[in-house]
Structure 1
Amino acid sequence: MKSSNRIVLSSDHAAIQLRQAIASHIAACGWVVVDIGPTTPESTHYPKHGEAAARLVASGDCRFGIILCGTGQGIMMAANKVAGIRCGICADTFSARMIRQHNDANMLSIGARVVGEGLALDIVDAFLTAKFEGGRHAMRVEMIAALEG
């Protein structure tokens, strides 16, 4: 079932606690959370978690994705390999708002070893409340999509 209020969350082992805090926060805001990340601290591989979340967003099953690893970098790189995904890493609210408004990002990546929980929740809120502005930005988003081949 495709839903406009479904968000997939995933992470590697380094970000379980922050992912769970974000899941609780966005569920309280009315989002349907699809948490596909690990629940135990054994080492796991961020590329598979980034890809799995990205596929749920690219298929339309989830409107957005939020992914986390230690820095947010590796999992974001993996997600961006999936056609149709525009994922940005954010460590501040301005960037989170801008990747939605100007880049029509459909996924957000956060580094659990980079930002604390309070800031992470503010970043998530900025991302989820921002709206794509379209206009001149739409042409640029189309140019990015064309790079997928």
Structure 2
Amino acid sequence: MTKDIIALASDHGGLEMKAMVAALLQEKGFGVLDLGAHDGQSVDYPDFAVAMAQVLKDGRATRGVLMCGSGIGISIAANRFAHVRAALVHDSYGARMCRLHNDANVLVLGGRTTGPEVAKECVEIFLATPFEGGRHARRVAKLAENGQA
């Protein structure tokens, strides 16, 4: 069985959190595709959203985790791509619901707003929660009908 590859990307504001998430994913047996940033130099978060969208489109990763200082900018940038459903979450409930009801394929965390233990919990829940389908599938399909998914 091929292990899932999870893509990670962050700007400088999410760099420390990205390293922590990468270690957690490897510990859990996931493959990690690190799209950067790789140092603390100031960079532009939209560039990393573009990189994430590309690897998801190409099938090089099954899901992704994006991080910037607040998570806001990078989630806005990621959701500009029709095949990306990026959800900025702040707690375990949001991590569960974004998968269960919205079939999110990208989890977004704020490197400066979310504590490490909460971030770990969110990642674990995001990866373990399946899409519920049913009435939610109809709603997600409407995003695709409107060119939004």
Shared fold per TM-score greater than 0.5: yes
- The letter for the 2-side match of 1:89 is L
Q: Secondary structure at the residue paired with 2:59?
A: coil
1:12 paired to 2:11: yes
Partner of 1:140: 139
- The letter for the 2-side match of 1:91 is H
Query: What stretches of structure 1 of length at least 5 have no aligned partner?
Result: none
2: distance between equivalents of 1:95 and 1:64? 17
For residues 96-125 of structure 1, what are the alpha-carbon distances to aligned partners after superposition, in whole Å with 9 as ceiling and x for unaligned? 111101011100100011111111000101
Contact 1:92/1:123 (CA < 8 Å) preserved in 2?
Answer: yes
1: distance between equivalents of 2:3 and 2:64? 12
Contact 1:55/1:82 (CA < 8 Å) preserved in 2?
Answer: no
2: distance between equivalents of 1:46 and 1:14? 9
1:4 to partner: Cα distance: 5.9
Q: Secondary structure at the residue paired with 2:108?
A: strand
Alignment of 1:60-75 (within 5 A): 60-75=59-74
2: distance between equivalents of 1:132 and 1:64? 13
- The letter for the 1-side match of 2:113 is V
2: distance between equivalents of 1:69 and 1:82? 18
Matched residue count:
147
Q: Secondary structure at the residue paired with 1:115?
A: coil
Partner of 1:89: 88
RMSD after superposition: 1.2
Give the share of equivalent positions with the same residue, in percent: 37
Q: Secondary structure at the residue paired with 2:104?
A: coil
Alignment of 1:1-149 (within 5 A): 5-148=4-147
Contact 1:7/1:62 (CA < 8 Å) preserved in 2?
Answer: yes
Q: Secondary structure at the residue paired with 1:134?
A: coil
If the length of structure 2 is used for normalisation, what is the TM-score?
A: 0.95
If the length of structure 1 is used for normalisation, what is the TM-score?
A: 0.95
Query: What stretches of structure 2 of length at least 5 have no aligned partner?
Result: none
2: distance between equivalents of 1:14 and 1:100? 25
1:58 to partner: Cα distance: 2.4
